Structure 1
């Protein structure tokens, strides 16, 4: 019996997130990523939005300002679950930048060299191009 649809959906999402991270060594799935029929990028995008909302609420409380609503924000326990999978899952900066960073990091760790002039690097069929 499912007591909470939200908790069940969270558990399913976490399971898929763990599988994705195990396969790719990070949890920043590309836009159209689907794993086992689960649209993991949509789930990740929604999780990042909820974590950012929680972070904004914490900053408002710390500044002594009122918080309009906690609706849609993520609990610390859930953020901790995702941090355990990949501490970089919810970067403060744009996720496109984070994906590029991860691709270049993987490329360099695989003994790849970076171009000396502006250009593209392709890693695991994903293109690193900071200007794109």
Structure 2
């Protein structure tokens, strides 16, 4: 009821607001509270609206299997996408832990720590293989909700991409039967045959992505100083700051797979196509 609402000359909206204040301050008797509750009194308007929006979110999840949704998403005539986006803002649920628990009960990835595209693809894959036994298999070209799930799955299994995933991402994939492809081992050349230099197994881009994943795992950030040099486990030094700067300037020429890798690591400009 709006605060300024009047029933005839009586300021009913203001009176209802005063009853809520008295109830919250412990200044109302049990009998008065019961009489108001019989009339449908809602003591916390915020909680009531949350429950209504939560029902809309559940309806969306039933159709799309995820709550990591675009801002434009709607369900039950409610702007569920914008509502969820607002709740993901830092501090939005600071004094409402029960709201966070309710959302996680619907979808643990409702506010993912990585690019939104990843949980959207994963949610569909999870539903596709839910009743299957053995390794998860979806062929490239199999599209759901406009997403090529088979192609996405094949990419996640690549050793260099798998290594760049966050621990939580790998855990989710393993839980539904997804494992990385074996690393290709190049046989050693016989003595005296051709060049003795080792075979090149990772491209410059793959080394840069691996270095970024390592830096993020250590620091929790993808903001890298331009002069920073990251050393990989095999001793390779990657000028990570320069790599990111150059890659961002060439983003229009990057393949979809490379953009997906960078977006999965948390680079917003790779997911949106614009500067972060």
Normalization by structure 2: what TM-score? 0.33
Is 2:93–2:99's contact at 8 Å kept on the other side of the alignment? no
Query: How far 1:30 sits from its partner (Å)?
Result: 2.8
2:117 aligned with 1:77, yes or no?
no
Q: Distance in 2 between matches of 1:12 and 1:38?
A: 9
Matched with 2:139 is 113
* Total equivalences in the alignment: 106
2:66 aligned with 1:46, yes or no?
no
Q: For 1:1-132, what aligned pairs fall within 5 Å after superposition?
A: 1-49=41-89, 53-54=90-91, 72-74=92-94, 75-103=96-124, 105=125, 109=129, 112-114=138-140, 122-126=143-147, 130=260
Point out the structure with max Rg over C-alpha: 2
Higher relative contact order (CA 8 A, sep 6+): 1
Alignment gaps of 5+ in structure 2: 1-40, 131-136, 150-255, 261-269, 272-276
Alignment gaps of 5+ in structure 1: 55-71, 116-120
**Superposed CA offset, 1:76-109 (max 9, x none):** 2111111110111111112233223334x25863
RMSD: 2.8
Is 2:71–2:85's contact at 8 Å kept on the other side of the alignment? no
**Superposed CA offset, 1:31-68 (max 9, x none):** 3211121011001111222xxx24xxxxxxxxxxxxxx
